Amino acid sequence: MIQIDILKQLLHHQDTEAITNYFETFRPYDLAECIEQLENREQVELFNKLDPVMSAEILEYLEPVMQYRILSYLDESMTSKILNNMSSDVVVDMMLAIHHYQAEKLLILLPEGYNQKIRTLMTFPEHTAGSLATVDYIAAPNSWTLEKTLQHIRNIGHKAEITSYIYVIGNKGSYLE
């Protein structure tokens, strides 16, 4: 169980390495629950010390308004890195939960291609198949060898929401039947 007192002590001593080592022993869900108990200032201080990948994993378990509040206090570079490591459906949920102007401030921090995918997902009505879709999947051309496909999975698998399926596509990115 995460000891909030230990975490506050680590924050007080500004020991980034100790914080990271401490956090690596817990699941993102448990860390999110712990972070909810911190003051706003402490939350921001903590996310400034964490790796963007770990930050994204933790943020995914927080409510959208809290996600935004934390991200809005980080510098744009860190916010951009974290957003790019969050799954698309979580980013969409956050964008739809916050004010339009707040969402626009975050959307401009995304790379153009990802920005367009998020904007497209935001157009689907709530509780429809489109609103539940994700753009975070793994695909491999049918011409790749098994070794090349496995290397691709190792390189980008952490970014995909679901790695249970690998979609095999044609040479021009078309779906194969």
Q: What is the pLDDT of residues 145-157, one digit of tens each?
A: 888 888 887 777 6
**145 and 58 fall within a common domain:** no
**19 and 86 fall within a common domain:** yes
In this structure, are residues 45 and 37 in contact, taking their beta carbons and an 8 Å threshold? Answer: no
DSSP conformation class of 175: B
User: Tell me, what's the pLDDT at 172?
Assistant: 65
Cα–Cα distance between 49 and 15 in angstroms, integer?
Answer: 9
Six-digit token string for 21 = 């080592």
Which residues lie across from 175 on neighbouring strands?
169
CATH at residue 82: 1.25.60.10
Six-digit token string for 49 = 């010390």
Cα–Cα distance between 141 and 67 in angstroms, integer?
Answer: 36
**115 and 151 fall within a common domain:** no
**Domain of 149?**
137-177
Number of domains comprising the chain: 2
pLDDT tens digits along 69-96: 999 999 999 999 999 999 888 999 999 9
**75 and 153 fall within a common domain:** no
User: Tell me, what's the pLDDT at 76?
Assistant: 95
**95 and 175 fall within a common domain:** no
**28 and 81 fall within a common domain:** yes
**90 and 18 fall within a common domain:** yes
**50 and 101 fall within a common domain:** yes
Helix axes 64-73, 40-49, angle to 10 degrees: 70
Angle (nearest 5°) at CA 118 between 148 and 84 = 55
Per-residue pLDDT of the chain (177 residues; tens, 9 = 90+): 667 888 888 888 877 888 888 888 888 888 899 889 899 999 999 999 889 999 999 999 999 999 999 999 999 999 999 999 998 889 999 999 999 999 999 999 999 988 998 999 888 877 666 655 665 667 788 888 888 888 887 777 666 655 567 777 876 666 665
User: Tell me, what's the pLDDT at 13?
Assistant: 81
**56 and 142 fall within a common domain:** no
**126 and 141 fall within a common domain:** no
**126 and 173 fall within a common domain:** no
pTM comes to 0.72
